[in-house]
Amino acid sequence: MTNSLLADWQTEFQLPPFRDIHDEDFAPAFDAALEAGRAAYAAIAAAAEPPTFANTIAAMEQADGLLDRVAGVFFNLSSSDSNAARETLQRDLSPKLSAYSSEIVNNKTLFQRIEALWEARDTLVLEPEQARVLMLYRRMFLRAGAALEGEDAARLTAVKSRLATLGTQFTQNLLADERDWMMPLEDLAGLPDFVISSANSAAEERGRDGYVLTLSRSLIVPFLQFSERRDLREIAYEAWVARGANGGATDNRAIAAEILALRAERAQLLGYENFARYKLETEMAGTPDAVRELLMQVWEPARSKALADAEKLEAMLRADGHAGPLEPWDWRYYAEKLRRAEHDIDEAALKPYLALDNMIAAAFDCAGRLFGLEFRPLDVPLYHPDARAWEVTREGRHMAVFIGDYFARASKRSGAWCSTMRGQRKLGGDVRPIVVNICNFAKGDPALLSYDDARTLFHEFGHALHQMLSDVTHGFIAGTSVARDFVELPSQLYEHWLEVPEVLNQHARHVETGAAMPADLLERLLGAQNFDQGFATVEYVASALVDLEFHDGPPPADPMQKQAEVLDALGMPRAIRMRHATPHFAHVFSGDGYSSGYYSYMWSEVMDADAFEAFRETGDAFDRQTASRLERFILSAGGSDEAETLYTAFRGRMPGVEALLKGRGLAA
């Protein structure tokens, strides 16, 4: 039988033929793709002609075409719809793909061709984008160890292979802990209908009667907000924060320690003092000190606000007859009560106005008003019944296929993210992207979102726009292929349009009556935007600082002890814990993406707060001239220039931290 992954895809928009793809197809498809890639790189290295941009860099850009296609399908499925076969294959693939990457960067002949082009760059006739891509390829090879020889080169290859294996193991352990834990719910006291409905759906998914609580964020957070049973809140909270630290085969603590040790060794092999200095060299921040300075500017006002809020919440706890002190499993429950008291916001009354379909329509509508995009539903086979697709067009031109997969399920890892099954490029043909947004919202009929859920939807759609509007020649710099502390700018910026009153007036419609959100509720909602920002900022900044300290210095033998020392030195409020404790800190330990880089969300927030001011200054949140500049210099530009250059081209200057503090309600 034909392996569908290796055949030409005669599908609409050349979408993967999901119905014809079987798990047993992936291993031979990867083998064939790796063989094709090795042959392509060998041919580039062995070319008799002197190196040119076309026969070296452009050829390398196209060498992994088959591998990109197969991997684009597999890794999306392994994170959004995992099963035992896919998990086994992912464990087998991690060292294979790492070894393949090492083979390429350790090919001295190939590197010599790149070096020859680099040395002759002043005499080459290159477009600006080509010059940028040449520089990035050379930097990638150097940072991957291309200049190392002998034992050092071999050791670096072994280190990277082991890191790939450990990252996969960390992720799969976390997924197992999240998938396997549940708590039957018999006492539903305090829980609103939407939480009860979600708990019932979770029970049905697991083949049980009644109601169960799972570790899905979209279910456990509202449970912690509303359940009157303090004992059950404690059990649920402790299970949630214990993911990856339950002992046995899925415990991630030893894995985290080994990852940190190997990262430090990797940095030292490449000539860096520590991993943070290696990692941050190519980011906007540049140095650990710059990151620390930003985070500490935010930490002190956030901590002060959180401590003041804790006093109010503990007074409410004592008024309920509990001796105290305020515990982490109490915070969300009493914060919800305080929000109702101070802002008269009732989550249960708010959610019917935030139906999932309406919020998707709102995200699409904003993209239409800002960038002229239109979205047409597609009736095509996808990888899971919950996933749905749209064709994205502009003035009749096909721009992308967008896939949204919004509901939590046991086969999906937690969190929310944006990925591509195919990236944008023009080299070798005008290729438009297939972009995927993954969320973990509680399933319901209809599905209702919290305001935080709606923000998440807008956030991930901002990433999707970065991919959809990408307009570069080389896939190497397309879409979100930018500095890690720049990549969150488009996503966090897009969240601001959810705050625009006319957007909520139009799309926040009651799911049963179709009525617009009442003006007084809308006013209270927007007035409560900064409610509990002390808590939110403290739990985030604490995680970012722990990540930084893990990597800026000798690797800790015991990461949990190091985590405790960092939090103690910060004066972490006792009733708040890190947003992501070490054993389930997937951003940092599932791969290198956000390692030493969890601060990136805040670095980008400095820019997104300032960038939205550019729209406010025009008096129109949908000012097309400002949107055109945003698209030209940021959303379509990918990594075609340095992030600071691109942002300055859009805004005329770089911002300070003041707009961020003001936006979070933490300014003095």
643 contacts 482 by C-beta, under 8 angstroms: yes
**401 phi and psi angles, rounded to 5 deg:** -110, 130
295-305 burial, b at 16+ Cβ within 10 Å, e below that, comes to bebbbebbbeb
Quickly tell me which residue has 């006013």 as its tokens.
523
Whats the size of the chain, residue-wise?
668
**3-state DSSP call for residue 326?**
coil
Pairing of strands 434-441, 397-407: parallel
Max Cα distance, the chain (Å): 83
Question: In sequence order, what DSSP letters do the residues of 576-634 get, joined into one string?
Answer: ---SS-GGG-HHHHSSSTTTTTTTHHHHHHHHHHHHHHHHHTTT-TT-HHHHHHHIIII
**Structural Rg of the chain based on CA atoms:** 25
Catalytic residue from among 391, 460, 488, 605: 460
460 has catalytic annotation: yes
Nearest partner of 151 among 106, 87, 185, judged by Cα: 106
226 contacts 336 by C-beta, under 8 angstroms: yes
Nearest partner of 215 among 440, 543, 438, 404, judged by Cα: 440
517 contacts 353 by C-beta, under 8 angstroms: yes
Cα distances (angstroms) measured from residue 37 to each of 41, 115, 127, 133, 402: 6, 21, 27, 20, 28
Triad 137, 140, 145: Cα angle to 5°: 130
Which residues are tagged catalytic?
460
